[in-house]
Amino acid sequence: MARMKILIIGGSGHVSGAVARAALAGKASVWAVTRGRRPVAAGVQLLVADRHDHAALQAAVMAPGVVWDLVVDCICYDLPDMLQDIELFRERASQFVLVSTDFVYDPARRSFPQPEESAHWAAGKAGSLDYGRKKRLCEQALMEGDTGAMAWTILRPCHIYGPASELGCLPLHARDPELCAKLRAGAPLQLVGGGHFLQQPLLADDLAATIISTAGNRQACRQVFNVAGPDMVESWRYYQIIAEALGVGLTVEEVPVRSYLDQHPEMLPYICHRIADLGRIKASGLSLPATPLEKGLRLHLDGLLARKGQK
């Protein structure tokens, strides 16, 4: 049986690196397009190009002369990128996965839980609102574009964690490189709304397994899926698990929601309950994220401290 040929746009980042490792573990032949500034996993064939330089990206993708079984774009953030993906891969890929985001939903009108269908989408031209708006434009281009015989799948993950990233899921301590030092020093964490917003954090390795499981899955073709972790927790609990793993306590200072959003309206996508309806993905046969949050955060913390030489 021929080895699956997988191309990752990205390949050295938080999510894309996890996808590369999962693909290699599945005995696939793996290529990755990156700018060449960070190492990729051993066994990945590197294609060097800046994905925003469309001519360079086209040259890099065409150089191996491969028709890909699966192309995964982990770093498509803007409409021109999506349009080029369609042009490049509709005749060079059997299947395409767009890693989108749950920020595409209008945060002020989210359902509880949020299904994939919605009448209300992100809008705005600043910060995370702009990020969600642009991702939604990418989704629409893929869903409505001429993709030929290429199958496609859109995944909408929630907060993604894992040792290649910093810890933190709420503003003021989101991806905070000093989070562990602050906790060890006994400093209080300032959490908007006291950290009472519900989340379903998703381990990057679990998301990678979901992505790889789309390959050849007919139920995933031309479908959109929410992807989230198995545990629904208040955000303060996320931080408490980290504190417990460090052997310290957690002190929270509540930041009032209204005053914070008055000053930072672009941060609204973080300041809401981010709970997903997972019925569709559960019925699809795709790999369903299952790592308990406590176990996953301890893996994240161990890997992060080891990477920083603080273990």
pLDDT tens for each residue of 50-73: 999 999 999 999 999 999 999 999
Picking from 78, 55, 76, the residue whose alpha carbon sits closest to that of residue 152 is: 76
**Do 188 and 252 touch, CB atoms closer than 8 A?**
yes
Beta strands in 24-69 (DSSP E): 29-34, 45-48
Picking from 35, 129, 133, 10, the residue whose alpha carbon sits closest to that of residue 79 is: 133
**CATH class of domain segment(s) 5-307:** alpha beta
Q: Residue for token digits 């079984």? A: 69
**Do 228 and 200 touch, CB atoms closer than 8 A?**
yes
What 8-state DSSP symbol labels residue 276?
Answer: B
Q: Reduced to 3 states, what is the DSSP secondary structure of residue 260? A: helix
Boundaries of every domain in the chain: 5-307
pLDDT for residue 167: 97
pLDDT surpasses 80 at 230: yes
- Residue 227 CA to residue 155 CA, distance in Å, equals 7
Identify the band that residue 225 occupies on the pLDDT scale cut at 50, 70 and 90: very high
159-203 tens-digit pLDDT? 999 999 999 999 999 999 999 999 999 999 999 999 999 999 999
What is the arithmetic mean of pLDDT over 118-131?
94
Alpha helices in 100-234 (DSSP H): 127-144, 179-184, 204-213
234-284 tens-digit pLDDT? 999 999 999 999 999 999 999 999 999 999 999 999 999 999 999 999 999
pLDDT for residue 38: 85
pLDDT for residue 192: 98
Identify the band that residue 39 occupies on the pLDDT scale cut at 50, 70 and 90: confident
Picking from 106, 110, 98, the residue whose alpha carbon sits closest to that of residue 138 is: 98
Alpha helices in the chain (DSSP H): 14-25, 54-62, 79-89, 127-144, 179-184, 204-213, 235-246, 257-263, 279-284, 293-307
**Do 160 and 204 touch, CB atoms closer than 8 A?**
yes
Identify the band that residue 136 occupies on the pLDDT scale cut at 50, 70 and 90: very high
pLDDT surpasses 90 at 155: yes
- Residue 201 CA to residue 165 CA, distance in Å, equals 13
pLDDT for residue 166: 96
**Do 151 and 123 touch, CB atoms closer than 8 A?**
no
pLDDT surpasses 80 at 11: no
pLDDT for residue 21: 95
- Residue 97 CA to residue 202 CA, distance in Å, equals 18
pLDDT for residue 1: 60
What is the arithmetic mean of pLDDT over 113-141?
96
What 8-state DSSP symbol labels residue 296?
Answer: H
pLDDT for residue 311: 62
The pTM of the full predicted model, rounded to 2 decimals, is 0.96
3-state helix, strand, coil in the chain (%, to 5): 40, 20, 40
Lowest-pLDDT range of 9-18, 199-208, 234-243, 285-294: 9-18
